[in-house]
Chain A
Amino acid sequence: LAKTTQPISMDSYEGQEVNITCSHNNIATNDYITWYQQFPSQGPRFIIQGYKTKVTNEVASLFIPADRKSSTLSLPRVSLSDTAVYYCLVGLRRDMRFGAGTRLTVKP
């Protein structure tokens, strides 16, 4: 299973764009990259998933370079309610291995 590395924490201000990068050097050919968001005392919530290039949905964008050894979650114009832990997962199997995640704090 591919190991992922993310920053432990990040701070931002309301209205800014936040980019969280995840490194996954030994990603396998069939692996997808998935991001989850978790608020305290709640289960993680799916944000976005991608395989290559760029994926965009109503809440975020995911940028994946050609070598797929990293990926960047982009949150446009964050608000206070985006304060949460963000997890990057890489794999194909259902036994998702969550790393420590990135604790994002959005300040007013």
Chain B
Amino acid sequence: KAGVTQTPRYLIKTRGQQVTLSCSPISGHRSVSWYQQTPGQGLQFLFEYFSETQRNKGNFPGRFSGRQFSNSRSEMNVSTLELGDSALYLCASSLGGGVLNTEAFFGQGTRLTVV
């Protein structure tokens, strides 16, 4: 079966701009989580969506937002980009629901560079 697809793979943006990243989960998966990975901070949880509702949120400013569509595809948006937003953004999908200890499948990530 197809894995988690993230687009685009690479992106270069200028400070102050906004960006939208996309994640298509594995078919049948209803939970999508987003993570930011940087060399200094490691992997940090951004938020999780399940059935179009944000279920959990990490400690990131309001410039970071997301949404999930009825087909479980998810987007995350970062407004007013800062240099420190340069990172690998990872999306993970899982079946979700009920007992939450289900395996999460990660995409290849989107490498965002802010200049």
By a beta-carbon cutoff of 8 Å, the part of chain A in contact with chain B is 32, 34, 41-46, 49, 87, 92-101
On whether the beta carbons of A95 and B109 are closer than 8 Å, the reply is no
Q: What separation, in Å, do the CA atoms of A92 and B96 have in the docked complex?
A: 11
Q: How many A-B residue pairs have CB under 8 A?
A: 61
Most A-side CB within 10 Å, residue of B31, B45, B58, B96: B45
Count B-side interface residues using an 8 Å CB cutoff. Answer: 31
Cβ of A44: which chain B residues have Cβ within 8 Å of it? 43, 90, 92, 106
Cβ of B91: which chain A residues have Cβ within 8 Å of it? 43
| Closest residue on chain A to residue B57 by CB atoms | A95
Residue interface bits B40-64, CB-to-A below 8 A is 1, else 0: 0011110010100001111000000
On whether the beta carbons of A46 and B45 are closer than 8 Å, the reply is no
Q: What separation, in Å, do the CA atoms of A41 and B108 have in the docked complex?
A: 7
On whether the beta carbons of B100 and A94 are closer than 8 Å, the reply is yes
Most B-side CB within 10 Å, residue of A41, A94, A97, A99: A94
On whether the beta carbons of A94 and B33 are closer than 8 Å, the reply is yes
Question: B111 interface residue, CB < 8 Å from A?
Answer: yes
